[in-house]
Amino acid sequence: MVKFAEAETFGRILKAGRKTLGLSQAALAELANTTTRNISNLETAKITPTRVMVTRLAKALKCNAQSYSELMRAGGFAYDSYNNEGIKEYQEDAQLAVDLLLERHSPYPALVLNRRYDIIQVNDSFHRALEFLLDNSETELTLPISLFDVLFGMQSFNDIFLEQESTVRFLIQRVHRELLNNEFCANLLAEIQEKLPHIPKEWWDFDVNYQPSPNFRTDLKIRGEVYETLGVLHSIGSPHDYGGNSIRVILSYPLNLLAKNLFNMWK
């Protein structure tokens, strides 16, 4: 594999590596399971690569650890690693940060999601919130469980959740925008839609004008009282990183006195 010291951009690196191996654009495209047009557009910087595509190209170009790292950095994926050891080490550090964040967020509920929006970890306050909000039969969750199933698949929750449409749209638009760089989400929307047929079809459509923020309302109406709360979604690390992109934390905050008093009961 070519040394990339003189080829600083992704397109130049890709072209230099291809020529070193004596490959045509068509040949490289076949090895990387893409099209000749894609290779041409990447080399001329008309498009930018996804992390998955960089990985395929690196394998096709027979990269060693150093050239793989350089190719990843040029593609904009500074935290990616050539081997699983680097990924594991980063994820362990991120997990320590998440554990501390969940502990310090008490008495407010908090939960952790993986790339497929499955809940994989919660704090004690989240368990207490479920006991207060839901029937006893639904408070015992076996993790991992889909966030969509919890918010929109439990009838007890559907009956008290005031912001269902805006929250569904918020989550769906985030997943739509992650499909390009997140191979684990490839079939996620179709799977969720099949499991939750009661959600209107138009809510699932991609909205090019929608600008999802990290904040979404999660107001609840319980026994005639409205508990105003806000969910804030945090991603740990780079959005393109194996470790960081697999960890998302949702922290809940009270917005009115009713919700604040309720959360403070869980200290």
Whether the bond into 254 is cis, omega within 30 of 0: no
Residue ranges per domain, the chain?
Answer: 10-74, 86-264
pLDDT at residue number 256: 97
Q: What per-residue confidence (pLDDT) applies to 140?
A: 65
| Residue 139 confidence (pLDDT) | 55
86-264 has the same fold as 10-74 = no
Count of beta carbons in the 10 Å neighbourhood of residue 121: 18
d(CA 155, CA 162): 13
pLDDT at 138: 55
- Nearest of 9, 23, 20, 6 to residue 64 by alpha carbon: 20
DSSP calls for 161-193:
BS-HHHHHHHHHHHHHHHTTT-GGGTTHHHHHH
Taking only the tens of pLDDT, the chain with its 267 residues reads: 444 444 468 898 899 889 999 999 999 999 998 899 889 989 998 887 887 888 889 889 988 766 777 788 788 765 444 455 555 666 677 778 888 999 999 999 999 988 788 898 999 999 888 888 776 555 567 888 899 988 888 888 888 889 888 999 999 888 887 776 565 666 788 888 888 888 898 898 888 888 768 899 999 998 899 999 999 998 876 444 444 456 789 999 999 999 999 999 877
| Predicted pLDDT of residue 67 | 77
Q: Which CATH class is domain 10-74?
A: mainly alpha
Find the radius of gyration of the CA atoms of the chain.
22
> Which residue pairs from 188-197 have beta carbons closer than 8 angstroms and sit at least 24 positions apart in sequence?
188/116, 188/117, 192/146, 192/148, 195/146, 195/148, 195/149, 195/153, 196/148, 196/149, 196/152, 196/153
- pLDDT score for 246: 62
pLDDT of residue 8: 66
What SS3 class is residue 75? Answer: coil
Which CATH class name applies to 86-264?
alpha beta
Query: Residue 46 has what pLDDT?
Result: 84
Of 85, 103, 99, 71, nearest in space to 7 by CA: 71
At 240 the pLDDT is: 45
